[in-house]
Amino acid sequence: MGDEYFAKEFNVMEIKEDWIFDRKRSRLYYDIQTVTIFLPSDKNAAGVETPLATFKYKDLDKLFRSDPKKFIWYNPQNQAQHKNLADAFDLRLFYGRITKVANPGDADLVGMYGDKEGLMKSYQTEYELMETEHGLWEY
């Protein structure tokens, strides 16, 4: 007998993306590869977040655009600015913490540095990426 969950119970997602710099156009592109939904730790007997399902983003994008009225990103500050989920992902309206960067051991930041230092490294990586992106436009 399988467990059943409501959609509101899922509050953790992992988005894997590639950052691609086009030197000819001097532009940075974000290419989302996959979206993974996690089973929250309070719903899991083991007490840890567990990956439940992973989807290719291109498949999700096609699904979101197939019915724009059904797949909505709600904007609580402005009722006139609700968007289709595909557009919200394209506009990068989501926010999250960086948990892993490319490395030879394929380890996440917490696994490499520990809990507190891993969190600090996450913020540091975010700021370094913002500085890199900002530096692309300086001459």
What is the pLDDT, as a whole number, of residue 6?
A: 85
Q: Which residues contact 116 (CB under 8 A, 6 or more apart)?
A: none
pLDDT tens per residue across span 41-93: 888 777 788 899 999 999 999 999 999 889 999 888 888 888 999 999 999 88
3-state secondary structure of 14: strand
Backbone angle region of 37, left / alpha / beta, with phi > 0 → left and psi within -120 to 50 → alpha: beta
What is the structure's pLDDT at 10? 86
In the prediction, which pLDDT does 63 show?
96
Res 1 pLDDT > 70: no
Q: Any idea where the domains of the chain sit in the sequence?
A: 1-96, 98-139
Give the rounded percent of residues in the chain with a pLDDT score beyond 70.
96
Q: Which residue has the tokens 């899922």?
A: 10
**DSSP secondary structure code for residue 40 in this structure:** -
Task: Yes or no: say if 40 and 47 are a contact pair by the CB < 8 Å rule.
Answer: no
**pTM tops 0.75, yes or no:** yes
